[in-house]
Amino acid sequence: MNLEPYVEFAKKAFSREATYRIEVLMEIGSLVLRVYILRALWTALYAQNAAPTNLPLHSMITYATIAMLMSLILEVDGTRLIREKIREGTIATDLMKPISVPLYFFSDGFGQTLLHALLVIPSLLCALLLVHIDVAPPATFAAFLLAFVIGYGVNFFLNFLMNCIAFWTLETFAAQLIVRWVSDLLSGQVIPLTLFPGILGRIVFALPFAAIYSTPLLIYVGVIPPDQWAASILAQLLWLVLFAALSSLVWRAASNRVIVQGG
């Protein structure tokens, strides 16, 4: 397959995102602020003896800060283009081209992601002025990166599926909001999933959301020890394959019922 168009899509998305300079700077500012607030919050909570035994305060702050940096990349929803294009009817012109339209959305999203990934470094530097985070050993860091990349894939397909709802309802905002809330909570972005008690904890670890934030983060802070890395990453991969298969089915059904608005 010729990858050139997709590389071009990613490049164009990157330069398009880069034109919103003020927004980019605001994003770093808001991130640093949130890191500071979280540090204050967790420090206060730990001082009240609310601390979980397996996660000391410095690990908790590391977890929260890295989760924030990850969200810089993971909250870029490249596939919202699907929703917009269906509403405006412009998806018709994409479908008339000799390209894989889902892959187009992926590369566009990836281009946007790359720009936001560049923000991670300055954001990290700013955050380091305010908080101290643990530095993981190289092997752990490598495992974290691998888990993060797989989580990125799971997140992409989740967003893709959500936005594909627009093929049927044309309006997906409510559904997206619900999934966003559920996923923020159950993915481990806001609080580590180890804090969920008993049976609830077992359930949230079994859900696909855990593959997005929780697995890479728990690897980084050492809650998932090296001998369990393989099993955790395998579970992520399982979700990735499952979601990819589901997306492919949904896309096939969706593209057979394109209702192009107007005209």
Partner 1 sequence: MPGTLGALRSFFSTQYDDRVAVDDVSFALEPGELVGYIGPNGAGKSTTIKMLTGILVPTSGEVRVAGLVPWKQRKENGRNIGVIFGQRSQLYWDLPLVESFELLRAIYGVPSELYRRNLDEFVDILDMGSFLRTPVRQLSLGQRMRGDFAAALLHSPKIVYLDEPTIGLDVVAKEAIREFIARINAERGATIILTTHDLADVERLCRRIVLIDNGTLIYDGDIDRIKSEYGRFRTLVVRFCEPVERPQLDGAQVAEVDGSIARFRFDRNLQRADLLVRQASERYRVEDVSLEEPDLESIIRRIYVEGYGGRSKEDAS
Q: 9 or 42, CB closer to partner 1?
A: 9
Q: Which residue has the tokens 């967003």?
A: 159
Q: 56 or 89, CB closer to partner 1?
A: 89
Query: What is d(CA 191, CA 38) in angstroms, rounded to the nearest whole number?
Result: 10
Q: How does DSSP classify residue 137?
A: P
Number of residues that bind partner 1 (CB under 8 A): 25
Among 8, 139, 225, 230, binds partner 1 (CB under 8 A): 8
CB 136 within 8 A of CB 216: no
- Least distance CB 97 / partner 1 (angstroms): 5
Residues 82-121 binding partner 1 (CB under 8 A) are: 89-90, 92-93, 95-100
Residues 198-257 binding partner 1 (CB under 8 A) are: 255-257
- Least distance CB 177 / partner 1 (angstroms): 19
Task: Determine, following the binding rule CB under 8 A, whether residue 263 of this chain makes contact with partner 1.
Answer: yes
Q: 203 or 259, CB closer to partner 1?
A: 259
- Cα dist from 231 to 141, 194, 225, whole Å: 17, 17, 11
- Least distance CB 180 / partner 1 (angstroms): 25
Residues 11-30 binding partner 1 (CB under 8 A) are: 12, 16, 19
- Least distance CB 102 / partner 1 (angstroms): 13
Dihedral of alpha carbons 56, 57, 62, 68, sign: positive
Residues 136-165 binding partner 1 (CB under 8 A) are: none
Q: Which residue has the tokens 């589901």?
A: 246
Q: 19 or 49, CB closer to partner 1?
A: 19
Q: 98 or 198, CB closer to partner 1?
A: 98
- Least distance CB 48 / partner 1 (angstroms): 47
Helix (H) or strand (E) holding 73: helix 57-74
How many CB atoms are located within 10 Å of the residue 16 CB?
Answer: 13
Query: What is d(CA 107, CA 109) in angstroms, rounded to the nearest whole number?
Result: 5
Q: 16 or 202, CB closer to partner 1?
A: 16
Q: Which residue has the tokens 């908790």?
A: 60
Q: What is the DSSP string of 187-221?
A: TTSSS-GGGS-HHHHHHHHHSGGGGTTHHHHHHHH
Taking alpha carbons only, the member of 160, 180, 3, 1 closest to residue 79 is 160
- Give residues in contact with partner 1 (CB under 8 A): 2, 4-5, 7-9, 12, 16, 19, 89-90, 92-93, 95-100, 255-258, 260, 263
